[in-house]
Amino acid sequence: MSSLSTHDAIVIGAGPAGTSAALTLARHGWSVAIVEKSTFPRRKVCGEYISASNLALLDRLEIGDAWRVNAGPEIRRVGFFSNETCVEAPMPDAKYGPPAKDGFGRALGRDVLDTLLLQAARSAGAEIFQPCRAVAIYRDGDMHRVRIQARGENSGDETTILRAPVIVAAHGSWEPGPLPSQLEKTSRPSDLLGFKAHFTGSTLAPDLMPLLAFPGGYGGMVLADHGRLSISCCIRRDMLARLRRNHGSGHDGIESPLSAADAVFQHLMASCRGVSDALDGARLDRRWLAAGPIRPGIRACYEKDIFRVGNAAGESHPIIAEGISMALQAGWLLARELAGAPSGPAGREAVGRRYQAAWRGLFWTRVYAAAAIARMVLGPGGPALIAAAVRNFPQALTLGAHMSGKTRPVPGLM
């Protein structure tokens, strides 16, 4: 059985990029469909930190107050933990950027944030298809059709076809798939795989967000909502394989490799004293999550008449913790352009050009700065070199946070 419904826009994916775009379009009177494959609330591999420069946008999206009520403490210090080194410095403030109503960033679990955003999109009038996976996009004259499949026990074989002139790909970048906007599968030794967990009862200073540097990877820790510590990291595929082999257990002559999560956790605890101190006596809150490989880089923002937002359009190394900000801002930028443009293919082409120029103007420094920092950390002896540098010049951490875009206001909002 199949059914067909028509909208002004179809948004694939209900992460921050998709909901920001959908909710802005819906507030401009567009009829919007959001297709999301997971059931919410859902946890996600992410450090969950959002810089204060996004607060004006969260207010515009009408979730600013809920975010302020729910998010963890203000992060006033940035740190660097590697081996025995624990250095900290002030988070950049008004000295580096324009004064904001909310001075400092905070972290909010993605289970909470993404649900708040999706509820706001629903209240704005967006129609939500969830849990449903978009499995194909094809042309239908001046429109596109998107085939979606319901997920879940009672969904049977039911297929729904959605039709709209505007398609927004907001499905992230870490999963390959059949859509023309999805990336090809990759499997290289240098791939970076993402891991994340929540712990309760940690002793990390509540206003500190340290960058973690360890052989084969990098990560971060921050206190989020409800006393949960969010720890997340990226580790090279070949390093992970080595750790799993070397630290596996052997019983009755049979070698059993360590689980990926256990290998990552042991590696973090052994290679960063700051992590083992902060997690001494802390309890794991549910299981570790894994994702990836991550795909840092800049991609086309508009291709084959499909708009891309968030990670689908481009992604910085998460070493700078700016992905949610970029996703929220890209969704909003695109929706603003679309809402003011004439309909039809020529209008979409023009929006595509303007949106791509705005995206690159706003984000390219972040993407390249993050790639440079990641290259240093992942290079031979990188963590030790950076540790020596920041021990002598801790202000480099403040400067690095500033350069990563943490004080850059969203244009048109401040």
Ligand X SMILES: Cc1cc2nc3c(=O)[nH]c(=O)nc-3n(C[C@H](O)[C@H](O)[C@H](O)COP(=O)(O)OP(=O)(O)OC[C@H]3O[C@@H](n4cnc5c(N)ncnc54)[C@H](O)[C@@H]3O)c2cc1C
Q: Which residues bind ligand X (CB under 6 A)?
A: 12-18, 35-38, 45-50, 133-134, 170-172, 175, 177, 194, 196, 232-234, 294, 310-311, 315, 318, 321-325, 327
The pair of three-digit structure tokens given for residue 187, joined into one six-digit string:
């499997």
State the minimum distance, in angstroms, from the CB of residue 131 to ligand X.
8
Report strand pairing: 143-150 vs 159-164.
Answer: antiparallel
> Is residue 339 a contact partner of residue 24, using CB atoms and an 8 Å limit?
yes
- Judged by beta carbon, residue 172 or residue 210, the one nearer ligand X is 172
Shortest distance (Å) from residue 16 CB to ligand X:
5
Contact between 199 and 231 under an 8 Å Cβ cutoff? The reply is yes
User: Is the Cβ of residue 225 or residue 315 nearer to ligand X in the bound state?
Assistant: 315
What is the smallest separation between the CB atom of 137 and ligand X, expressed in angstroms? Answer: 10
Nearer to ligand X, 36 or 337 (CB): 36
Measure the CA–CA gap between 121 and 13, rounded to whole angstroms.
Answer: 12
Q: CA-CA-CA-CA torsion for 327, 331, 332, 333, nearest 10 degrees?
A: 100
Output 398 or 404, the one with its CB closest to ligand X: 404
What distance in Å separates the CA atoms of residue 323 and residue 50, rounded to the nearest whole number? 9
Residue 284 tokens read as 């794991």
Helix (H) or strand (E) holding 18: helix 16-27
Write down the residue that tokens 């401009």 correspond to.
28
CB of 253 to ligand X, least distance (A): 37
Whole-angstrom distance, CA of residue 80 vs CA of residue 263:
22
**Residues in Cβ contact with 264 at an 8 Å cutoff, skipping those fewer than 6 apart:** 195, 233, 235, 240, 243, 288
CB burial readout 84-107, b (16+ within 10 A) else e: ebbbbbbbbbeebbeebebebbbb
Residue 344 Cβ vs ligand X, minimum distance, rounded to whole Å: 27
Whichever of 253 and 272 has its CB closer to ligand X, that residue is: 272
Taking the complex as a whole, the smallest distance from the CB of residue 48 to ligand X amounts, in Å, to: 5
CB of 23 to ligand X, least distance (A): 13
- Edge-to-edge strands of the sheet including 302-303? 127-129, 32-35, 9-12, 166-169, 306-308, 302-303
User: Measured from the CB of residue 386, what is the shortest distance to ligand X in angstroms?
Assistant: 18
Pairwise CA distance, residues 394 & 87, whole Å: 7
- The smaller minimum CB distance to ligand X, of residues 188 and 391, is found at 188
Q: Which is nearer to ligand X, 148 or 387 (CB)?
A: 148
Return the number of the residue (161 or 350) whose C-beta is nearest ligand X: 161
Helix (H, G, I), strand (E, B) or coil at 190: coil
If the CB atoms of residues 248 and 309 are measured against ligand X, the closer one turns out to be 309
Give dist(CA 402, CA 297) in Å, integer. Answer: 20
- Cα–Cα separations (whole angstroms), residue 249 to 232, 236, 243, 252, 268: 25, 22, 12, 10, 19
Cβ at position 247, least distance to ligand X in Å: 21
Which residue's CB is nearer to ligand X, number 315 or number 337?
315
Beta strands at 306-308 and 166-169: parallel, antiparallel or unpaired: parallel
Q: How far is the CB of 49 from ligand X (least distance, A)?
A: 4
Q: Which is nearer to ligand X, 114 or 337 (CB)?
A: 114
For residue 174, the minimal CB distance to ligand X (Å) is 7
- Through-space distance between the first and last CA atoms of the chain, rounded to whole angstroms: 49
Measured in whole angstroms, how far is the alpha carbon of residue 285 from the centre of its chain?
A: 21
